[in-house]
Amino acid sequence: MAINPKLLAGLASLVLLPAAGATLTPPKLRLPADVHPSRYRVDLRLNPGEDRFSGSVEIDLAVTQQTSVIWLHAKALQFVSVKLTSKDGEQAAIAQPAADDFIGITFDHVLATGNATLHLAYSGEISRNLTDGIFQQQQGGDWYVFTKFEPVTARRAFPCFDEPSFKVPWQLTLHVPEKLKAYSNTPVEEEHEEGNAGKVVRFQQTRPLPSYLVAFAVGPFDVVTTKPVGQNQVPSRIIVPRGRQSEAEYAASVTPDLIALLERYYGTPYPYQKLDQVVVPLTTAWGAMENAGLIAYGDFLLAPRKEDTELRQRGRANTMLHEMSHQWFGDLVTTSWWNDIWLNEAFASWIAAKLLDEAHPDWKIRTEQASRIGVLQLDSLTTARKIRQPIETPADIGNAFDGITYAKGSAVIGMFENYVTAPVFQQAIRLYLSQHAWGNARAEDLLLALDSVAGPGVGAAFSTFLNQGGFPLIHVKLDCGKPAPELQLSQERFLPAGSEGSTDAVWQVPICLTWQDAGGEHSQCKILAKAQDSVPLAGAKGCPAWVFSDRNAAGYYATTYDAKLFDDVASVGLPKLKAAERAAFLRGIELNFSMGKGDAATSLAAAQHFSHDPERVIVDQTVDIVASADRLVEPEIRPNYARFVRALYAVRAHELGWKPRPEEAEETRLSRFAIVPFVATEGEDAVLQSEAAELADAWLKDRGSLDEDIAGEVLAAAAVQGSKSYFDALVQAAKTTKVKPERDDIIDGLASFRDPAIEKSALQLFFESGIDARELTPILFGSNQKTRDAVWDFVRQNFDRLNTELPSARGIPFGSRLPLVTAGYCDDQHHDQVAAFFQDRIGSLPGLKRNLDNTLERIRLCTARAAALKPGLIEFLKRQPAE
Ligand SMILES: [Zn+2]
């Protein structure tokens, strides 16, 4: 039936109709609130190997305010027909693309409020280059179609309300060639042939999902069935490219155990009807994706080589647990908007590490975590994001998936868990999940749950770490002059040497202390809420022998002790501390050194002191400290530096050698990976280098000849002095090798030459070499002092081509990442050159500004660091005894 024209005329006076042919003004960032979906029915016709697909979607929706335009997200879709049906009958509409990401569905009248269904028929592209949105890849001659939608690329597969708060049921139907298999979030409801060698696969309707968690995969897959998973014993499969079932053995065997770990923690069963895990041969800028019921992983989920290694299994288990934990944290309860993506990502990173550490203490995950300074370095920059950075432009969404969200967020969660205790924190998580199951939540909701279980004030303290950048530097002074001993604490923002930021910031820092007096070891926790405060040491018997400020190494802060206390902690306290706590202590030294603070001699002497520690992780840290001097070492002092590296590690490196010994402990095997390549390259150890060259040649002929976890390092060490003929051999191998981890190793080798002429040849591989350019990015981003100029010249000469030919990721063009190739520069001249080159491109490349600002700050800080530390470094290295 038709609409009553009188009614229409009345409404039109209230709401402005777009003039015919007028340009629509699309939303700037978010869709308007006047229309929201309640259900989707998606019907797609796709054939892997073909570049186009066609589809239709019906969206049940509610119009809550009168409007004549319905805004949806759509990208690179061509519309064939569009109409709306409602109780008033069928209404014609026009689909008008606006900006890059939107489609305005316009009507020649004003829509009444109420329920309606929008019907859209369209076609789109199945990309061969992107690895998000809807895309396809070839393996073993077969084409496969995959999807990966988070955060903003579902709109390439169907027009939709592509924001996480629109969480509704979806029903997918796929028309595919009869001989292929198709998977989606839910089990198949019905499948039948439809002529022309095609079939229809209709999937069950999903539970409420945001668009970014919808997924499907089509191709000649093979399937490995695992044991049923979880309390509800739901079916579970690993879905692999044809012929690769045997490589999925590890993933299949651990899946039920990992789900059991999560169910025990969450206290609620796995929420979906099945668990499939599908392998995507090539992923760029993502490793895995937590699609509800259909988790996607890169090739690393599989073990293509004869002997799988424990290190690879650890990595796999960690990623699997991360993605599986999202089935609750992210999928069952979904972040309302991208400013809270940390709720998904920080939590998943934290719980994966926590549960694996409890299940496998021998993996030393906590100690490894406590030893890492990467996120602190990042967070010390004034250009770093906050965990809850407001989303002001579409590019801010893609940029939100960074180290701050994942690693800082995870560390802050761990700090508050340590403060309120693990059982209390777990209770808060369970409460939060039960309150928001199948819906959306915001940071405030988690903090409220935490307050209601742990007591008021904890949430407020937590939010001081969410809503401001940086991290506190705590000054600790022990005062035994009073009747009872007390600690004097003060805080400021940690800033690197040369930073233009302000130290003026106050967090509510949950500090947990360990200290020792005549009565033994004690611990206590306190929230330092002011710039300065004092803490009486409860029950102290006399002046403590030492006080350590980071019990369980859970703190997300740095510490400076006053001089006497530092010496006491270092000499008396450290041997009594847990390995993770010692790692955290050493991390403080490394942080200072890498950020241009303290003095070089103290830091390098500390590295020397711990370089033979029984704890492998601590020795690895000392390697990192010494390695971080590398950027400050000028050619004339390089022989002294190499000699220092050899003095610390060469004996151990030669004991270990490049090849594993029979029956050696896993820790011994792991220590090889840090020490041997370092002595070979930075230590310029001629014996290890020539061994690497021989082993690399042998490996190119026989891939079983090396421990697969060190093959990449061997190829890279061989490249340090590598000849053009070695380079050519690697190129040849890259062209013929099919196994993904071996390809990665070869590219590590190609990215490690130090001869600028060879580097130029490596860069030419990006264009027309036949090697997939998406795999070659380590050559751009992994340059060294000797090849940096060649890379920078290449980027400047080929910027437009790189930007168009390499895929965007998370809605951000490849070119926006390119400032990062210059982050290794350490002088004013290059700073200005980089700024000038990219300045003009800021307007046209979303996300570029943040990466440029960040890179320029890093160059400035390195310059300041060099000025502060170089004289002391030179003096220290010259003082080292000759061999
Ligand atoms: Zn994640």
Averaged over 539-552, what is the pLDDT?
94
User: Residue 8 pLDDT more than 80?
Assistant: no
User: Residue 13 pLDDT more than 50?
Assistant: no
Q: What CA–CA distance (Å, rounded) separates 671 from 616?
A: 6
pLDDT at 10: 40
CA of 220 to the centre of ligand 1 (A): 28
CA of 660 to the centre of ligand 1 (A): 34
Q: What CA–CA distance (Å, rounded) separates 779 from 791?
A: 8
CA of 194 to the centre of ligand 1 (A): 38
5 pLDDT band, cuts 50/70/90, is very low
CA of 671 to the centre of ligand 1 (A): 29
Averaged over 672-684, what is the pLDDT?
97
Q: What CA–CA distance (Å, rounded) separates 329 from 340?
A: 12
pLDDT at 2: 42
18 pLDDT band, cuts 50/70/90, is low
User: Residue 554 pLDDT more than 70?
Assistant: yes
CA of 523 to the centre of ligand 1 (A): 34
pLDDT at 345: 98
Task: Measure CA 837 to chain center.
Answer: 28
φ/ψ of 43, rounded to 5, equals -130, 115
CA of 99 to the centre of ligand 1 (A): 29
CA of 702 to the centre of ligand 1 (A): 37
Summarize pLDDT for 799-816 with one digit per residue, the tens: 999 999 999 998 899 999
19 pLDDT band, cuts 50/70/90, is low
CA of 94 to the centre of ligand 1 (A): 38
pLDDT at 805: 95
pLDDT at 307: 77
Alpha-helical (H) ranges within 495-562 are none
CA of 344 to the centre of ligand 1 (A): 6
Percent of the chain with pLDDT over 70: 98
CA of 347 to the centre of ligand 1 (A): 8
Q: What CA–CA distance (Å, rounded) separates 781 from 750?
A: 12
CA of 257 to the centre of ligand 1 (A): 19
CA of 329 to the centre of ligand 1 (A): 9
CA of 290 to the centre of ligand 1 (A): 7
User: Residue 64 pLDDT more than 60?
Assistant: yes
CA of 405 to the centre of ligand 1 (A): 10
Give, in order, the Cα–Cα distances in Å from 105 to each of 74, 78, 94, 170.
Answer: 11, 13, 6, 21
Task: With CA atoms as reference, report the closest residue to 626 among 587, 590, 574, 591.
Answer: 590
How would you classify residue 819: left for phi > 0, otherwise alpha for psi between -120 and 50, otherwise beta?
alpha
CA of 348 to the centre of ligand 1 (A): 6
User: Residue 290 pLDDT more than 90?
Assistant: yes
CA of 411 to the centre of ligand 1 (A): 15
CA of 353 to the centre of ligand 1 (A): 13
pLDDT at 334: 98
User: Residue 20 pLDDT more than 90?
Assistant: no
How would you classify residue 89: left for phi > 0, otherwise alpha for psi between -120 and 50, otherwise beta?
left
What mean pLDDT value characterizes the chain? 95
448 pLDDT band, cuts 50/70/90, is very high
12 pLDDT band, cuts 50/70/90, is very low
Local structure of 65: helix, strand or coil? coil
CA of 696 to the centre of ligand 1 (A): 36
Structure tokens at 464: 């001081």
pLDDT at 9: 40
Q: What CA–CA distance (Å, rounded) separates 391 from 364?
A: 36
Summarize pLDDT for 465-487 with one digit per residue, the tens: 999 999 999 999 999 988 889 99
CA of 531 to the centre of ligand 1 (A): 35
How many CA atoms lie within 13 Å of 424's alpha carbon, on the beta-carbon side? 15
pLDDT at 476: 97
CA of 314 to the centre of ligand 1 (A): 17
Where do the DSSP E strands lie in 226-282? 236-240, 275-279
Predicted TM-score (pTM) of the model is 0.96
CA of 351 to the centre of ligand 1 (A): 11
CA of 101 to the centre of ligand 1 (A): 24
CA of 322 to the centre of ligand 1 (A): 6
Please name the amino acid found at residue 457. Answer: G
Summarize pLDDT for 306-326 with one digit per residue, the tens: 778 999 999 999 999 999 999
Task: With CA atoms as reference, report the closest residue to 413 among 493, 354, 358, 328.
Answer: 354
pLDDT at 22: 62
Summarize pLDDT for 712-763 with one digit per residue, the tens: 999 999 999 999 999 999 999 999 999 999 999 999 999 999 999 999 999 9
CA of 673 to the centre of ligand 1 (A): 27
CA of 93 to the centre of ligand 1 (A): 39
Per-residue DSSP letter, 112: P
CA of 149 to the centre of ligand 1 (A): 13
User: Residue 4 pLDDT more than 70?
Assistant: no
Summarize pLDDT for 356-365 with one digit per residue, the tens: 999 999 999 9
CA of 701 to the centre of ligand 1 (A): 38
CA of 814 to the centre of ligand 1 (A): 21
User: Residue 511 pLDDT more than 60?
Assistant: yes
CA of 330 to the centre of ligand 1 (A): 8
24 pLDDT band, cuts 50/70/90, is confident
CA of 732 to the centre of ligand 1 (A): 36
Summarize pLDDT for 114-163 with one digit per residue, the tens: 999 999 999 999 999 999 999 999 999 999 999 999 999 999 999 999 99
CA of 323 to the centre of ligand 1 (A): 6
CA of 133 to the centre of ligand 1 (A): 17
CA of 324 to the centre of ligand 1 (A): 9
Q: What CA–CA distance (Å, rounded) separates 227 from 489?
A: 54
